[in-house]
Chain A
Amino acid sequence: MTSLLRPKLSGGNSNRRSALPSREALYWIAPACAVIIFIFGYSIVNLITQSLRYDGDWVGFENFSIVISDPLFLVALRHNLFLLSAVPILVLIAFILAITLFETRRGMRFYRSAVFLPYILPIPVVAVIFGQIYQLNGVLNTFLSSIGLDFLIQDWLGDPDIALGTMGSVIIWKEVGFGVILMLAHLISLPTETYEAAKLDGAGFWRTHFVITRPAIKTTLIFYAVIESITMVSWVFNYVYVMSNGLGGPGNATMVSELYIYRMAFQNNAPELAAAASVFLFAITLILLVAFFKIQRRSISKTFRS
């Protein structure tokens, strides 16, 4: 089935030659390629070289061995994985908000802006504000106390057992707006006939969106999930740095791999260990990207098949 589909997608064997980049096209993209190779290629080669050296001497995989046997690095990776597990929740919240806004005709523009606003706020500002809100004697606990919910009061960022979850909630709050806007844009572009037909057939709100909307915007959902997965693995430094004052505390409760790398490079004066840890992180991010493209290709193939 797949082999039958491929020629169809590429326009058949007769068009295969035209699908290949011509020499002229190569000339056109050469400058962009050069810039990309210079910026990313050079950095990656430099990073890998640095990860294999110590004090100018070649040490093979010694730095990798030190990093991978460092309990702190493993804790940091585990925390990234924990944050990664929040991605399905994030996607679900964004999806629910998107369909709710899609169904809400009155004031949609206002609600859409309100949901999107956190996404455009600078992370340090968000982190500082939430750092204050989540203090033991901060706004949230004062509010909980005022409505008689004292049993819910926690030292949100000061208790090592819940600090990472608290941080995760801030990340979700900020990132959800991006997903909502992506999904809404896709939803608005969908043909309305299917929904009208579903309505006539008596499908309810949840059934309509679960059976029609979800498959229809699947590519957007996957795209968003992958972007957020990459965020959780390698883009949460700002949140953690500001909210834990660069420590990843209390204890090591909020230590993540990026912070580990930063501290190794700029506080512990161990750039070679930071480089080795970066190579690990780069590999993980690359795996996520490859997985994304594979899933996306499979999804597109299925769409064309159906």
Chain B
Amino acid sequence: MKLNKSAIVYSAVIALLLTACSSSSEDSASDSFPTEDLTLNISWWGEQEAPGAQKWLEESIALYQEKHPNVTINHTLQTTDGLLPAFEAAAAAQAGPDIQYFWGAIYSQQPGWDGHIAPISDYLSKDELSNYINAEVESGFQGKIWTAPWYVNPSFPLLVRKDILAANGLAVPSTWDDLMKVCDVLSAKKITTLAGGVKDGWFGGWIYSVLGGQSLDSQADVIDAVVGNSKFTDPKHAKWWSKLEESRDRKCWNNDINSLELYQAQQRFVDGKAAMTFTAGPDAPNFVKKAGGDEKVTIIAMPAWTDGPLAGKMGTTSHTFGITKWSKYPQVAADFIKFTHTTERLNAWYATTGSMPADSRFDVSQVTSASTKALFESALDGAPYIESFIPAQLDADAIFKNVQLLLAGKVNATQAAADTQAIMERLRISDRKLVENFTAWSK
């Protein structure tokens, strides 16, 4: 009996030791939480597409500082065009924010490949990260996860004004042909079917994702074309250009699409001057509200023009927070990120912004709007957001550019695809690590 007691005690001690040894990095982080006064800086973006994000972030900071009085957190909201350059400048100086906002996939992979961020998986446990939506598929790299998803961007929902369609005897389109018929009818009446602005380029990337993703089987197809195993002129990758060309010829878009910026064009939809537009998923519920609510507006995925496995599905991507390599307090940064994923903070995010936090623990049942609920559910079962799986330079130099030129009537679908392929080939020369990095990512 005595022996048994000793055995139990020894077992307990060993178990305790084993538990201590096998405890996650997260636990060790909390054990060694600094006690001295420290400051964290956050450089972020998101208010633009999730209004209320700033309020939520400031609230989160205040609550965290209350919990940890020795921590001061400052934040800087970046502009859309300034987000990447500001980070590149900070990376060049190896100084700047401790926590940096990144869009998903390539935008969070590239800084990891360049050695500018530390994997979040070094500081947060696998269990914790398993709840973060899209963490593995977008930020995963050879067993590590670079950044922590913050909120989900269902990408990109098509907002449809049922009132405008009904007033013109039309129904919400469910197929590509239906959509083209809507364009024919509305353009004959001088009404814009799809409002868009490509002057700042971003909308071009959206169009690529909602049209170009439909003919693919998965994001692996895109990576294949990037590394040279297939071509952007192959029908699988090029056919969408002809669909965009068709939409141009059927006068689906506003005639000033090339001289408007993304947000300027979207306002046309809110003002009732266009029947449809695309918007960032987090902002979609706000657009629905501004345009008259669920009675007047519905949210759908881009109607399918093909029958691929991703056709007709909403894309999904998560926007993320990463910890910079030069941060002196990565554990504290990780702890703050984890704090933003507590139930109270997740619910506060939804309550403040109306958009979806990137955490599977978020209770969707609290969403009352039918369109928003449908949006969230479609994002949970979404397709990969393919724009984020090509090099950012290809996006800007080829996709943004050729969408502008094609919509201006200066190139046709074949030329656009050929130019995209030519730029990709060029990129493999100028970015000498591109193939190696993308190949490693695909494994």
Residues of A bordering B, CB below 8 Å:
54-55, 66, 70-72, 134-138, 155-161, 244-247, 249-252, 262-263, 265-271, 273
Contacts and interface: CB of A to CB of B under 8 A. Distances in A.
Contact of B396 (A250, A263, A273): A263
B437 to A, nearest CB: 11
A267 B392 contact: yes
Given A155-B258, A250-B199, A245 B81 contact: yes
B88 interface: yes
Interface of B: 81, 84-85, 88-89, 92, 110, 114, 198-201, 255-261, 392-393, 396-397, 400-402, 404-405, 408, 410, 426, 429-433
A83 to B, nearest CB: 20
B259 A268 contact: no
B255 A136 contact: yes
A156 B200 contact: no
10 contacts: A54-B432, A135-B260, A136-B258, A160-B408, A160-B410, A245-B201, A249-B401, A267-B84, A267-B396, A269-B114
Contact of B430 (A265, A270, A271): A270
A245 B426 CA distance: 24
Contacts of B84: 266-267
Contact of B258 (A66, A70, A159, A263): A159
B426 A70 contact: yes
Contact of A251 (B114, B260, B404, B430): B404
Nearest to B410: A160
B430 A66 contact: yes
A266 B405 contact: no
Contacts of A71: 426
A134 B432 CA distance: 40
Contacts of A66: 429-430
A161 B433 CA distance: 36
Nearest to A65: B429
A137 B400 CA distance: 22
A155 B256 contact: yes
A247 B405 contact: no
Residue from the set A55, A136, A244, A262 with the largest chain B CB neighbour count within 10 Å: A136
Residue from the set A135, A158, A161 with the largest chain B CB neighbour count within 10 Å: A158
Contacts of A251: 401-402, 404-405, 408, 410
A66 B430 CA distance: 6
Nearest to A262: B85
Contacts of A158: 199, 256-259, 408
A62 B198 CA distance: 35
Given A158-B408, A249-B201, A267 B393 contact: yes
A135 B259 contact: yes
Contact of A247 (B92, B200, B410): B200
Contacts of B397: 72
A159 B199 CA distance: 11
A62 B207 CA distance: 36
Given A134-B259, A247-B401, A270-B430, 8 more contacts: A136-B255, A136-B259, A157-B258, A160-B410, A246-B200, A247-B200, A250-B408, A266-B88
Contacts of B426: 70-71
Contacts of B433: 55
Given A72-B397, A266-B89, A270-B430, A250 B258 contact: yes
B227 to A, nearest CB: 18
Contact of B88 (A137, A247, A252, A269): A269
A56 to B, nearest CB: 12
Nearest to B393: A268
Contacts of B432: 54-55
A273 B430 contact: yes
Name the 7 nearest CB pairs between A and B, nearest first. Answer: A158-B258, A136-B256, A158-B259, A245-B200, A266-B85, A250-B404, A251-B405
Contacts of B396: 247, 263, 267
A234 B110 CA distance: 30
A270 B431 contact: yes
A246 B430 CA distance: 21
Contacts of A137: 256, 259
Contact of B92 (A244, A271, A273): A271
B199 A245 contact: yes
B256 A135 contact: yes
Given A155-B259, A251-B401, A267 B429 contact: no
